[in-house]
Each structure stands twice: as C-alpha cells, then as structure tokens.
Structure 1
Amino acid sequence: MSTSERMRNYRGPVLFSYGFRPFFLLSALWAALAMAIWVAMLGGAEILPLAFDPFSWHAHEFLYGYLAGVIAGFLLTAVPNWTGRLPVMGTPLAGLVGLWLLGRVAVAASGLIDWRLVMLADLALGLALLAFLAREVLRGRNWRNLPVLALLGLFTAGNALFHLEAARGGAAFEGLGMRLGLAAALILIALIGGRIIPSFTRNWLAARGAGRLPAAFGRGDGAVLGLTALTLAGFVAAPDASAMPWLMLACGAAHLWRLARWQGAQTGAEPLLWVLHLAYALLALGFWAEAAAGFGLLAAAPARHVWLAGTIGLMTLAVMSRASLGHSGRALHAGRGTTALYLALLGSVALRLLAGLLPVQVWLLHLSGTLWLLAFGGFALLYLPVLAGPKIARKPVSGPGRTA
C-alpha cells in the first residue's frame, strides 16, 4: 500500500493521521505553558515539585521538551517523503505522543520520583525515534540521511547527560548535556535548513520568473558544514578554550556567506520564506554572540538565547507553520495572523537580548516572555483547525488576509 493509499484509507482521528499534527500542536502549547510557568518562577512562585533547579528545568523543557516534540513531528512527516515508505499513524503515533507526554509529566514531578525513572521516561521518545529512523534509513537505503540519524543520537545522548548532571546537583543548564544537545540541534538546522531554504526559495522565485536563483549546494556549503561541526565540537568539549571565540567568529561569517547565496532579499513578499532566511541569519549571529561572550563583551545567558530563542525558536515556528499549511492542503502563504506570530517571536528575542544588556530592567524579561506566549500560544490557537481538521483541496491564494 502506498503512502497516499494509506492516507486515503485511514479512518481514525484526524489529529493522529500524520506526525506533524499532534506533535506541532502539543509542542506549541507546551512552549507557551512552560514559559508561563517560568515567568511565575521568576516571581518566586514554586509551582512544580522539581528535582531540577529552576534554570535547568527551563532550559531542559525548551531543548529536550519543546524541541524534541517538534523534531518528532518533523521526522515522522519528512521521513516517509525521503524514503517512500509508509508513515506512522493511528495508534502507533498516539503511542509516540504518549511517550512525549510521559516525559513532560515525569520531569515536572521529578522531585517526587527517582531520577533514574524520570530519565528513562524522558528518554523514551528519543529512543523510539532513533529506532524508527534507523529502520527507515536502512530498509529504504536512504543513506543520505545517515547524518540525521547520527545527530538524533547525539541529541538523545545529550538529554541523558543532562539528567545525570542534574542528579549530581550540578548546574545542568550550562553543562555538557545542554551543550551537546544544543550543538546537535544547530548542526541539524544547518544541514536541513541548507536543503529546504534554497529549495523552497528556488521554487517560489522560479514560478515568478526571477532571473537570479539560489546557488546549488557545492563544495563551499560542505566546507561550511565541516567548519560548523568543528566549531560546535569545540563548544561541547572545550567551551573556554582561547581559540573558541575566533572559531565562532569565522563560523558565523561562513554561514552569512552561505545565506547570501540563497537570494533571501527577493523573498520579502512571502513571510513563509523570509522567516526561514531570517532564522538562518540568527544561526550565524548566534555564533557571533557566543564569540562576544567569549571575549567578555556580552553575558553568557543573552548570547546563548540568540541560538535558543532566536535560531531554534524562529526556525521551528517557521517550519511548523509551513509544513502544517502544505501537508493539510492549504495555500503556501502566510497571512496576517502567521506573520504576526513571527513578529511577536522576533520581538521576544530582541527583548531577551536587551534584558541581558540591562539586567536591572526585569520588566524586559517579563515582556519578552509575554511575546513568546503570544507567538506559540497564538500558533496553537490559529493552527488548531489546520492541525486537527481534515486535509482540504488546495486553492489559489486570494490575498494575505485569507490564509492562516
């Protein structure tokens, strides 16, 4: 049975008909709820029975909670397209969602549960995804995506290390597990982003008869990915080495060079495209922010948030919105509502950086958190009919106000 035939024959809940549907919806809801809890914690509230310190819980639930859910939704949707094999749907998909929810509950109640059980519950989804991806890559002979499998393995290992460091009483939010998971996520963005951003941009520009199209992948792109792997390996293993700020500067410049070849300046009329280019630009700027922190010009926390809230937050919001529209049969156009989500998140990132520069202005942190809530809570509300409703026949775009 082909993928399309299995989709047509599926009779279960629409929400569990494709991986992106439940995982994107629940991940966005969790991003908003976890931020609301974090803002309350900043005010001194003790809401959850945590074994983690509040900063470690906040960092963990973004990287290994929210992002893990988005990665699951993305892979469960993309891998069938990569391999031509059947998607996970129905009861097996609901089981994977249950594993993700189990991890969120276990971490939230970690002060009441043995840390080993918390770790196993939280690693369950990552291990299941590794088994799924390994099976699909091997049976589909999809060797091109072996790096994705390796990066998912590193990401899952980072989560395990995070739990071990937290159990030992360390500041896990700035430990090896956090750095390893972050590095794996950033390389994944550089790898997958380097495929989809120029591809989507090329298709859109070609349909409009543009004379200049994004450059094809070449040796220069491979060199940038190699430099990225080297720089982030140093970031994980020896973050305080004297050479790291210089490597960060070089890597940021290399990614800006790569981005400049993708013709992002021509995409201003379509938010679904320019947001991808902007998110990738934040990847490059994150390297420079880390360099500034290494030179003592910027505090470590706001520098790190350029990657966390900026690169990862904006890229995932961009991918979730585009994939949700495309796979549900809607027009690939971001209307005013979706554009407002992007702008709210950009405002949140800018205010978080400003709060790091003006630490006495605590209200900046609260305003940044509010905009984050609007971005991800708004996504869940705006895209609920898209994610939980049936696929529709795609219609021509009739104007920016008629789409999500």
Structure 2
Amino acid sequence: MAASPPILRGGFRPFFLGGAIWAVIALVIWLAVLAGQITLTSAFDAVAWHRHEMLFGFVGAIVAGFLLTAIPNWTGRLPIAGAPLAGLFGLWMAGRFAMLFSAELGPVAAAILDVGFYLLLVLVAAREVIEANNRNVPIVGLVLLFGVANALDHLAAAGFAIDPALPWKVAVALVTLMISLIGGRIVPSFTRNWLAKRGVIQGLPGQPGRFDLAVIGLTALALLAWIAAPAGWLPGVLLGIAATAQAMRLARWKGWKAVADPLVLILHVAYAWLPVGLALLAAVELGTPVPQSAAIHALTAGAMATMILAVMTRATLGHTGRELRAGPATTVIYFLVTLGALLRVATSLGALDYRMGVDVAGLCWIGSFLLFIGCYGPILFAPRIGERD
C-alpha cells in the first residue's frame, strides 16, 4: 500500500497551510467588501460573515491542526493521516466554500458542512484521548463548545431568537481560554528550555502550578460574566482583575531573558495581548469611551493571530525535523502580524483614519500570512528530514 503524500502525514500540514491561505483570501474579500468593490453571496451579512470566517474558518483550521498534531504526543497513538485526514480537511474546505456562497447553495447546506466539520473533529479527538485515558479531555471539550458556538451563529443568522452577539462572544472567550491553557504550558516550557541550553540555571520560569490554575479560572469567570451578565461594573471589575492576573502570570515567565530568539520572544508577545485585550474589555464594560472593537481586535488580531503564527512556524520546523531557528523571513512574519495588530487596535481607538488604518493593518496581516505560505508551504509539502518521500 502506497504511503500517504507528505502533506497528509500530520494534521498540522494541511490545516496550517489551508488556514493560512484562507486567512489571506478571507481578508482580501473583506477589504474588497469594505471598499464597495464586491458584494458577498453569503446568507450572512458582510460583518457577520467576516467575523464567522475569521473565527470558525481561519482560527478553527489552526485549532484542528494543532489538536490533531498534539494528540499523538499526548496519547502515544498513531496520528490521523492519509485518507481520513484528507476527508476531514476536505470537509473544512467545503464549509468555507459553502459559507461564501450560502445565499445560492442554501444556508442549511452551509450549516451542515460547517458544523459537521467540528462534530467530526470532536468525535475523532475524543476517541483518541478517551481510549488513552489522557488528561487533555477538557481541551477537546473546549473544541466541542467552539463547534456549538458555530452552530449558534448559523441559527442566529437564520433568524432564530438568539442574540447575534452570543456566538462570537462565546467563540472569542473559548479561544482566549485555549491560549491561556495551552499557552500557559508551552510559553514557560519553551522559554525554560531555551535558557537552560544556554547555561542559565538561575531564575528560570517555573512550571505551571496553583497560581496558573487560579488565573485560568478567574479568566473563565470574567469571560462568562462578559457573555452572560448585563454590561456594567461586575464584568468590568472581573475582567480588570483577570487582566492584572494574566499580566502577572506573563511576567513570571521572564520573556525578556529570551529576547535574542524570535521563536521564543514571539510567544511572549502573543500572550501579552491577552491582558491587553482583557483590560480593554474591562474598560468597555465600565463605561469608558473605549470601543469594543479595540478590545476584540486585541484578542483576535493580536493574541490569536500572533499565537497562531508563533505556533505554526515552530511546530512546522520541529515536526519536520528542521532546526528551531527563526530566519530573517520568519522574523518579518512576526513583525508584520504584530504591526498589523497594533495598527488595527489603534484604528479602533481613533488614533488613525478608519479606512487607512484598516487597509494598512489588513495589508500587514496579508503580508505576514503570504510570507508564511511562501516560506513554510514547501516544507509542509515535503517529507520530514530523513523520511522517505
């Protein structure tokens, strides 16, 4: 039986590449819609489509790639590869096509394909972690809730009695918690490893402990209040406390000691957007003139996009047997996504002209993901070093 092509030998390969390509396509479409150059053929309105595809399309692909790649490490079981992986990825792609043309294909068909992808992903992941009696069942649970939020977004768009803000708020909260949970493992671990290899033995980042669990729990509570409670002092105070706790957590990881290595530094930069985003959300809830768009883009264009590129570049190098080193192009990727996030948040805060700020921030975003596609796409299609084609 012939071996699978390299692109189907690990979940990170098709989903990282496909997610990056969709990040570019979806944003180009959105910028063209804003400029009045095209009209969407989606059953969702333009803003709702943009929000949905950034969260459930782009971010969802990376979540799938990470999960399918991490599970073999967690469980010791063989990875999902070959035809099953191709089928799962094909279902994700079909969902993107159906969402874009749902006004013609029908919203029900789009929902079945789009939500069906998450249902299948969760079933595959749950089978692996449960059979291995693995401790990461809660992460699969978060992905399941993410799929539920996706389904709710379809119901809201179809006119059901659902607050249209509920699905995307739940999605943003869940991905924020994923970053807090998984980032809280990998950021201090990779920082510690990098420092230890350079002979640093004093003042290394500590392993996750009770303080970290308390911060994650507090963040979950604050986000729940943001979703469910009326706007006001309660969610505002909780979000402010969570932002402070997350900043303290980040400081404990001593990222300034690893400033010489972009692969490590970018993890700290990405995580730093969490307390920033939570603090801006707190300001919104407490009635300050900070627009909600600034807070949401700090968490999405900032924390999510930056952490995604940080993880995609590192995982692609590591899982294909290449040296964990950020070359000049990778450093530019990190610079562009960071600059794009800063400009997008600054635009929401009124520091830049809206159209100019959105367009320039969008170009930075597009540039960072195009550079990832150009530099890492060939690696994702190639076999692991030392592995036969």
Question: TM-score scaled by structure 2?
Answer: 0.95
Q: Contact conserved, 2:8 with 2:82, CA < 8 A, in 1?
A: yes
Q: What residue number does 2:319 align with?
A: 327
Q: What residue number does 1:198 align with?
A: 188
Q: Determine the C-alpha separation between the residues in 2 that align with 1:26 and 1:58.
A: 17
Q: Contact conserved, 1:34 with 1:58, CA < 8 A, in 2?
A: yes
1:17 to 9, 12, 20: 9
Q: What residue number does 2:141 align with?
A: 150
1:388 to 367, 381, 389: 381
RMSD of aligned residue pairs (Cα, Å): 1.7
CA offsets per residue over residues 116-139 of structure 1, 9 Å max, x none?
221111012111111011111110
2:24 to 32, 37, 54: 32
Q: Contact conserved, 2:8 with 2:86, CA < 8 A, in 1?
A: yes
Q: How does 1:101-116 map to 2 (within 5 A)?
A: 101-116=93-108
Q: Contact conserved, 2:348 with 2:354, CA < 8 A, in 1?
A: no
Q: Contact conserved, 1:10 with 1:17, CA < 8 A, in 2?
A: no
Q: What one-letter code is carried by the residue in structure 2 that aligns with 1:73? A: G
How far does residue 170 in structure 1 lie from its aligned partner after superposition?
Answer: 8.8
Q: What residue number does 1:52 align with?
A: 44
Q: How does 1:67-86 map to 2 (within 5 A)?
A: 67-86=59-78
How far does residue 204 in structure 1 lie from its aligned partner after superposition?
Answer: 1.0
CA offsets per residue over residues 88-133 of structure 1, 9 Å max, x none?
1111110011010011011001111332221111012111111011
Q: Determine the C-alpha separation between the residues in 1 that align with 2:195 and 2:2.
A: 36
More divergent stretch after superposition (335-344 vs 109-118): 109-118
The number of aligned residues is 384
CA offsets per residue over residues 341-389 of structure 1, 9 Å max, x none?
1110111111111211236442111111111100111111111121111
Q: What residue number does 1:176 align with?
A: 166
CA offsets per residue over residues 65-109 of structure 1, 9 Å max, x none?
001100111011000110000101111110011010011011001
Q: Determine the C-alpha separation between the residues in 2 that align with 1:273 and 1:59.
A: 29
Q: What residue number does 2:175 align with?
A: 185
SS in 1 for 2:174: helix
Q: What residue number does 2:301 align with?
A: 309
Q: Determine the C-alpha separation between the residues in 2 that align with 1:100 and 1:114.
A: 17
Q: Contact conserved, 2:316 with 2:379, CA < 8 A, in 1?
A: yes
Q: What one-letter code is carried by the residue in structure 2 that aligns with 1:219? A: R
Structure 1: tracts of 5 or more residues without a match: 1-8, 395-404
More divergent stretch after superposition (47-56 vs 251-260): 47-56
1:225 to 193, 212, 216: 216
Q: What residue number does 1:167 align with?
A: 158
* Change beyond 3 A, Cα 1:171–1:343: farther
How far does residue 293 in structure 1 lie from its aligned partner after superposition?
Answer: 1.8
Q: Determine the C-alpha separation between the residues in 2 that align with 1:170 and 1:314.
A: 35
CA offsets per residue over residues 15-50 of structure 1, 9 Å max, x none?
111110111001001001111111100111234311
- Aligned residues with identical type, % of pairs: 43
Q: Contact conserved, 1:37 with 1:47, CA < 8 A, in 2?
A: no
Question: TM-score scaled by structure 1?
Answer: 0.92
Q: Give yes or no for the alignment of 1:367 onto 2:360.
A: yes
CA offsets per residue over residues 325-352 of structure 1, 9 Å max, x none?
0001111111110010111011111111
Q: Determine the C-alpha separation between the residues in 1 that align with 2:162 and 2:120.
A: 28
SS in 2 for 1:304: helix
Q: Contact conserved, 2:40 with 2:46, CA < 8 A, in 1?
A: no
Q: What residue number does 1:379 align with?
A: 372
Q: Give yes or no for the alignment of 1:62 onto 2:37.
A: no
Q: Determine the C-alpha separation between the residues in 2 that align with 1:252 and 1:50.
A: 36
Q: How does 1:266-305 map to 2 (within 5 A)?
A: 266-294=257-285, 295-305=287-297
SS in 2 for 1:243: helix
Q: Contact conserved, 1:330 with 1:393, CA < 8 A, in 2?
A: no
CA offsets per residue over residues 292-320 of structure 1, 9 Å max, x none?
22232311112210001101010011000
Q: Determine the C-alpha separation between the residues in 1 that align with 2:161 and 2:53.
A: 17
Structure 2: tracts of 5 or more residues without a match: none
Q: Determine the C-alpha separation between the residues in 1 that align with 2:271 and 2:157.
A: 31
Q: Contact conserved, 2:301 with 2:341, CA < 8 A, in 1?
A: yes
Structure 1 runs, 4 residues or longer, greater than 4 Å off = 169-172
How far does residue 199 in structure 1 lie from its aligned partner after superposition?
Answer: 1.0
Q: What residue number does 2:114 align with?
A: 122
Q: Determine the C-alpha separation between the residues in 2 that align with 1:222 and 1:357.
A: 32
Q: Determine the C-alpha separation between the residues in 1 that align with 2:246 and 2:151.
A: 30
Q: What residue number does 1:209 align with?
A: 199
How far does residue 152 in structure 1 lie from its aligned partner after superposition?
Answer: 0.8
1:258 to 249, 252, 270: 249
Q: Determine the C-alpha separation between the residues in 2 that align with 1:292 and 1:369.
A: 25
* Change beyond 3 A, Cα 1:176–1:146: same
